[in-house]
Amino acid sequence: MSTAVADPLLYPADLSSQAPSRRRRRWEVWRSPDDQPAWARPLLLVTGAIAAALFAWNIADAGLAPFYSVAVKSMSESWKAFFYGAFDPKATITIDKLAGSFAPQALSARIFGFHAWSLALPQVIEGVLSVLLMYRMVRRWAGAVPGLLAALLFALTPIVASTMGHSMEDGALTFCLVLAADQWTRAVTDGRLRSLLWAGFWVGVGFQCKMLEAWMALPALGLAYLFCASGSWGRRVRDLALFGVVTLATSLSWILLYTFTPAADRPYVDGSTNNSAWSMVFGYNGLERFGITVPGAVDSGPGMGGGMGGRAGGASHQFPGAGMGGRAFGGGGMGHGGFGGQSGFGSGWTKLFGSEFGPQIGWLLPLVILTLICGVAWTWRSQRTDKVKTGFVFWGLWFLTFFAIYSDMSSIPHTAYVATLAPAIAALSAVGIVVFWRAYRAGGRRGWLLPAAVVLSLAWAVFLWNSYSGFLPWALWTAVGVGAVAVGIMIWARMSRKTALRIATAGLIAGTVAMLTPSATWAASVLDTSYAGSSFNAGAGPDSGMGGGMMRGSGKGGNMGEMAERFRMGGGFGGGMGGGMMGAAQSLTSSEKDLDNYVNAHRGNASYLMAVSSWSEASPYILSTGQEVLAMGGFSGSVPEPTLAKVRQLVKSGQLKFFLLNSTSSSGSSTSAGKSGSAMGGGGAQASMPGGAGGGGFMGRGNSAADKAIDSWVEKSCTAVPAKDYGGTASSASSASGSAMSGPGPSGTSSSGPSSSGTSSSSAGAQTGPGGMGTGMGSTSSEKLYECKS
């Protein structure tokens, strides 16, 4: 092994020999411990403060995520709903994730009340703690300077800056994995089995947040420990076996509890057709994402994020507007590739290099790759347990594993997924900068690596920024100009023996700043709500939020009528999709209030307020009142819950009295969920706007025999309530052509509300929501309220 890397370049020589300072009291948190430079702790606290400001700046306008924030409301109202991760307060059906996904948010809502900021607060805290942990574990590996750089780079990763400021469970997963990496580092450096077991525990907690995504860290944790930890081969195998037991037990605890709880005593498992948590976790949220069919799992395979070209026949998870405009929601939609899915560079195995994910996570990829190559080459012959080598092996495996899996996935449902790449990128980039800096100061051929890294990074930045040339172009070209001057100084200093050390140092600093400027610029853009992303799909920069600016320019909040009132984000986003359309409303519209008042006055002792056709119809009532609304069909609309037998039993026992159902008549192609005529989702579950045609929600109920049987029984056995009884008025419209994407305006409006005949109609032709996104051709959707006698 070359000692030029192991000692002078990675280990600060003065730390072990520095004189001990006055003993630090516990409460003096601003003072560095004796084994760290005096300036380390103050700078770390400054870095933490920067991260806190970045993550929390727009916390009041963080918004509520559709579907999941409703579940958080229910979990904050009912301990049973909290324990099982139920969508509704009565815990009839779960969300399509494990309960741990949103438990921190539900606890925060219980303590501080249900607000957008209280749901985002746990992620802010998790983000700041992750920044501090990045310093601690990278310092153990390479010293205080790389540790501080890693903490800063992690905070200034665009997807991290956005994710940690919104109520997305990816923040909790990233925090858990950083905790696991921190404990793993301690286990290797100190030879502590207890720390390794804690690492397994935190991976298991991460599994509760995002299931199999947490296990993506296991190859790095396991292989790096097996090959680099101290001790005999047998001891390392034994330690990993114990690590695996802890990881598995923690990961599967909720699934096993759910499995052994009688079905009658727990909610139905969403994401499954057989009421199985195994099918939901390992099928719907696991192998189905790679096109592998799992019995009992709702289809979520290729096409789930496929924009206009989703898989026919399955339950498409594409939301309105997804895949349109600049950012292709789901990693495989329209994006810059046009209708039917993105093709060429930036899709498939190159998706993380493309214009969708690259600006969120990939500004430093050239530096990371160069660092990995040099790190492996320079430590190849070193001892197996060498600390420097161990760090490169661990973070290299982390980076390559996550990168390969995300690249292989047919689609990445949310941009926030890639936040789990940020720890490896930050750690490797920080160490690379310090190593190359010291190599430059030491002289020799390795001294050219830092100028090369600056050139490659800025060339890559120009390539990535080219897709968004109108976004702060001065920042890019300032970075390029500073970088060019810095490289010139570094080359001149290497060629001239008379160059002053200060001039060379200035070039090194300028080059480093230039490399980091693009990522920092995009991360800092979250300070403006127009570029901050949303609680539905995190992302920083000009394409943040759903739809990537499809409706940009319409102004914050826009003119979206009742749809904006019913589905809005707190604060909005410069007229982008995230601002007016993809949020969840905490108050009822006037027509919903009338309906709610009528049903409450006539429900008697019924446990449920009413049953509705989809989760999106239940959302405003649960969010605003916390009442128990039975949403049929689950998230996808294709979950067989409730069954006709259960519906009849609930009515017979007096627990359920009212049904609000959608029905559709068509003059063209059908807009019913599950039909191939749907303009969104390619024939999967109906992707209509809430209150529009199809199932009355993003994922309206399917057109299965079970759905038809329930609707038919309600229509025959119950009485339709005239809309005039609950103050409704309505108009009905139908379009012959039903353009799927027309602009906002008169042709894009829809009217919904109870009609005098007892129906509430809305046009699904020109569009069923703002922005002209239709769901069919010439069809009319009706809402009917039915009252059933026990």
**What would the pLDDT profile of 36-48 be if each residue is shown by its tens digit?**
888 888 999 999 9
Residue 403 has pLDDT above 50, yes or no: yes
How far apart CA 554 and CA 748 sit, in angstroms, is 14
Above pLDDT 70, what percent of the chain?
Answer: 72
48 close to 164: Cβ distance less than 8 angstroms = no
How far apart are alpha carbons 655 and 222 in whole angstroms? Answer: 51
> CA distances (Å), 342 to each of 319, 324, 345, 348, in order?
17, 11, 9, 9
How confident is the model at residue 682, as a pLDDT? 35
pLDDT in tens, 490-512: 888 877 766 667 787 888 899 99
Preceding omega of 89 cis (within 30 degrees of 0): no
- The burial of 33, by beta-carbon neighbours within 10 Å (0-12 exposed, 13-18 middle, 19 or more buried), is given as exposed
Buried/exposed 685-712: b ≥16 CB within 10 Å, e otherwise? bbbbbbbbbbbbbbbbbbbeebbeebbe
CA dist 649 → 212, 645, 655, 712 (Å): 37, 6, 9, 16
Band (pLDDT 50/70/90 cuts) for residue 384 is: confident
Q: How far apart are CA 394 and CA 423, in angstroms?
A: 11
Q: Quick one: which H or E segment has residue 276? A: none
The tens digit of pLDDT for each residue in 155-172 reads: 999 999 999 999 999 999
DSSP 77: H
In eight-state DSSP terms, residue 612 is E
Q: What is the pLDDT of residue 702?
A: 58
Pull the structure tokens for residue 340.
């039917």
Residue with the bigger pLDDT between 552 and 126: it is 126
pLDDT, one tens digit per residue, over 80-124 is: 999 999 999 999 999 999 999 899 999 999 999 999 999 999 999
pTM summary value: 0.81
Confidence check: pLDDT of 368 > 80: yes
In tens, the pLDDT along 722-768 reads 988 876 554 333 333 333 333 333 333 333 343 434 444 433 333 33
What pLDDT is attached to residue 51?
A: 96
pLDDT at 38: 81
- 542-582 pLDDT, tens digit per residue, is 875 443 333 333 233 333 333 333 333 333 333 333 333 34
Give tens-digit pLDDT for 441-480.
Answer: 877 888 889 999 999 999 999 999 998 988 999 999 999 9
Q: Residues near 550 by Cβ (< 8 Å), separated by ≥ 6?
A: 321, 324, 325, 576, 577, 771
Confidence of residue 637 (pLDDT cuts 50, 70, 90): confident
Distance, first Cα to last Cα, the chain: 81
Residue bearing tokens 């096993």? 256
Work out the average pLDDT over 141-150: 92
Would you state the pLDDT for residue 241? 97
Mean pLDDT of 226-252: 94
DSSP calls for 656-684: --EEEEEEEEESSS--STT-TT-SSGGGS
